[in-house]
Structures are given as structure tokens and as C-alpha cells.
Amino acid sequence: MPKLEAVEYIPFESIKQFDENRMEYWFARDMQNTLLYTEWRNFHKVIDRAMLACKNSGVNVNDHFVDFNKMVKIGSGAEKQVIDYKLTRYACYLIVQNGDPRKEIIALGQTYFAIQTRRQELADTFNQLDENNKRLVVRGNIKQWNQLLAKAAHNAGVITNDEFAIFQNAGYMGLYGGLTVADIHMRKGLKDKDKILDFMGSTELIANLFRISQTEEKLKLDQPASAVEANNIHYQIAEKIRNAMTAMGTTLPENLPTPEKSIQVIEREEIKKLRNSKTKLMLDE
């Protein structure tokens, strides 16, 4: 069976938070655990080095490392006050750059935040990008919106993996004229391990991003009480988007060409370019 698109498990994605303006951030205490630092005092040394790097780059430290106190349980119902930080993507980037290079998770973090930074740089000049880089930007946005959609669906009663697969299928069927995930997978000639969204061109990705974002918004507004209602909403939103495309005379999703390169291949190529580039990342300036 083809692999369904779900919330991609990356350790740094799973602990990412969003504020009321949908701006992303990370808690330092969560980062400590993810980066496998057992003691806060050792991890705080990494934060200190990252803050120094931030200052030396001419960037306001307080814009990226926001400290606050919180209460944590220490056993037997007792609590104590500890310090924590709200970290921006830039702060996380600096932390993994200053972390213990012997840790495999640090290397993963360096790659992850480099990719996220590149996506942001590309997004700022989207209209000037070539097709592959447009795909990279939109695919990154979809990963974030899929997290929000998964949360909204869960609140509506979409709990198990099987229920989430049915929920996803409903959206694809509405947008693709009744084609299921398996149908689309076969139509694109993909391998079982491939994800459909990784083999879409920018136009097809944008259509799916609209489907995902509008469904997430509708689920929050309507607050359906069951998985069945959530599935119907996903299908109806997707079908309306398809009908709008038909009315405008644009190419329907299933008829758009399938790119030869997957998103993973493009990401590796972009990271290689960054490493070999004579110009530094925006974060390093």
C-alpha cells in the first residue's frame, strides 16, 4: 500500500509551537530533551554560546531568545520555579550550530534548520524562483499546515491512524474527482514508499495547500462532533476547490504533470548548494 501523507515525524517538528499569529517557536526545555541533554546546566551553556553568536552577528538577542519563568513538578505534588526560553527558528539554528557535534541529533538539527532557513529565504522571493524551488517552498508550507489540520481533525474525533487515513482520502477524493490516495499514487507511477505530495509540481501543491488550509479553518469554525462529519467537511471543501478550478478552465490536479525529482532530492541539492556557496546564509550575516 502507498504511504499516506501524515504529519511527518521530525523531532523538531513535533515540539514546534505556534502563537496566536501562527508564528512558530520552540521551548528551550523541549529542545533540551530533543537534543539529548540530560542536565539543564549543560544545555544552558549551549544557549549562552548561541546568544553570544546572535549578539556578535548584530542581531537583537531578545528578539530570538525570550526568557520566562515557569513552575514544574518535582515530585510529591511539589513544584519549583525554573527558567525557560521561547526560541525563534534563528535561535534554534544557532543552538544546534553550538551543540555537541558528536550527537547524531545535532547533525539532524543542523540540516533541519538549514532547510527551514532556505525555505524562508526562497519564500521571500517566490515569484522569482524556478519550478523546483517553488515546489520546495510550498511543500514546506504544506507540512506546517498539515500539522494544524491534523490537530483540528483530532479535535473533531479523527483519532486513530485508520480514521486519519480515511479523513485524508476524503480530501483527495474531493479534489481529484473521486480518485483515492491509492489511485493517485498509481496514476503518478510512484513506489510504495513515495509520498504523493513529494511528487507534485508547484501548481498541484498550491491547490492542495488551499484544500488543507481551508479545511483546517472550516473544522475550527464548525467544530464537527464526529470523524464522519470531519470527513464530509474535508470532501466538500476539496470538491468546491475542484469546481472553482473547473469554472476557471484551469488544469485539474490529476491532469497536471508529475515531476521527475522528489522533494527530498531537491532538498539535498539545495543543501549541497548552500554548503558549497561562497555567500553565507541569511542567518550568518
Q: What is the pLDDT of residue 119?
A: 66
* pLDDT tens digits for range 158-184: 999 999 999 999 999 999 999 999 999
Binning pLDDT at 50, 70 and 90, where does residue 272 land? Answer: confident
Enumerate long-range contacts of 200-203, CB under 8 Å, 24 or more apart. Answer: 200/135, 200/139, 200/256, 200/258, 200/259, 201/131, 201/135, 201/256, 201/257, 201/258, 201/259, 202/131, 202/134, 202/135, 202/138, 203/251, 203/256
Q: What is the separation of C-alpha 36 from the centre of its chain, rounded to a whole number of angstroms?
A: 22
Hey, what's the cell of 137? 517552498
Tell me whether strands 78-87 and 24-27 are parallel, antiparallel or unpaired: antiparallel
The answer on pLDDT for 122 being more than 70 is: no
Classify burial at 245, counting beta carbons within 10 Å of its beta carbon; exposed 0-12, middle 13-18, buried 19 or more: middle
Q: What mean pLDDT is predicted for residues 246-252?
A: 92
The answer on pLDDT for 198 being more than 80 is: yes
Helix (H) or strand (E) holding 70: strand 65-75
Q: What is the pLDDT of residue 282?
A: 42
User: Among positive and negative, which fits the CA dihedral 217, 171, 1, 260?
Assistant: negative
Question: Position 163: which residue type?
Answer: E
The answer on pLDDT for 5 being more than 70 is: no
The answer to whether the beta carbons of residues 25 and 19 sit under 8 Å apart is yes
* Of 144, 135, 246, 108, residue with least CA distance to 197: 135
Q: What is the pLDDT of residue 124?
A: 67
Classify burial at 184, counting beta carbons within 10 Å of its beta carbon; exposed 0-12, middle 13-18, buried 19 or more: buried
Q: What is the pLDDT of residue 1?
A: 40
* pLDDT tens digits for range 37-49: 999 999 999 999 8
The answer on pLDDT for 8 being more than 70 is: no
Binning pLDDT at 50, 70 and 90, where does residue 121 land? Answer: low
Binning pLDDT at 50, 70 and 90, where does residue 281 land? Answer: very low
Binning pLDDT at 50, 70 and 90, where does residue 56 land? Answer: confident
The answer on pLDDT for 74 being more than 80 is: no
| Whole-number Å distance between alpha carbons of 30 and 36 | 10
Binning pLDDT at 50, 70 and 90, where does residue 105 land? Answer: confident
Binning pLDDT at 50, 70 and 90, where does residue 64 land? Answer: very high
* pLDDT tens digits for range 211-246: 999 999 999 999 999 999 999 999 999 999 999 999
Calculate the average pLDDT of the chain: 86
Binning pLDDT at 50, 70 and 90, where does residue 7 land? Answer: very low
